[in-house]
Amino acid sequence: MEQNPVNKTQNDVASAKARILAAASVLFLQGGARALSVRAVAAQAGVSTIGIYSHFQGKQGILDALYIEGFTRVLNSLNVEHSSEDGIRLAAANYLATAEEYQAHYRLIFGEADPSYTPSEAAMQVGADAFATLVRLIATMLPPDADRAARQDAAMQVWSLIHGAVALRQHAVAELVDMANWQQRTLDALDMLLASLKR
């Protein structure tokens, strides 16, 4: 049975976009934002430079798509059904695994940025949604009368701890220290932080 021409075109476009973003991720990991020229991404993805412009309007569009994809993955990692400490621990474990699997995205949204790139409103909104999700999750273990500032402060402490572990894992310092079981050690440190936040 032949595929519907419209569906085939949509699948071809989605496949090309996915190849372009995968190529950009590889280049970003190899050389940071400076490695993401339109020509380099096109060559890595096996598409024409015109294809880059038609799908993403150039380098800025690629960076924005990676930024949105990265924060969407972070947001998905934080969306857990459990609440209180079990949910926070599960979300943290998901976050650590996501950061490890999608290092290029993580470095773009939290680390090495291109000074010429400013995330779009849509990209910034996905980041805000991720933080709001963490705040809601953290609020489940705080006293019911905890105000917005207290919930945000607690969420920032949790995010700082987890992000710090990921940043160290992805930094050159990881070669100088024992990073064995770094995810479990991070979760153990999280348990201590959560215990202190409950007090």
Q: How far apart are CA 46 and CA 44, in angstroms?
A: 6
The pLDDT of residue 72: 93
For the range 28-32, what are the long-range contacts, defined as Cβ-Cβ under 8 Å and sequence gap of 24 or more?
Answer: 28/66, 28/104, 28/107, 28/108, 29/103, 29/104, 29/107, 32/107, 32/112
The pLDDT of residue 136: 92
Averaged in consecutive runs of 10 residues, what is the pLDDT profile of the chain (199 residues)? 57 83 89 86 91 88 90 92 86 94 86 76 93 92 91 95 89 74 93 89
On whether the CB atoms of residues 16 and 51 are closer than 8 A, the answer is yes
Domains of the chain: 1-57 (1.10.10), 61-198 (1.10.357.10)
The pLDDT of residue 88: 93
The pLDDT of residue 4: 59
The pLDDT of residue 32: 79
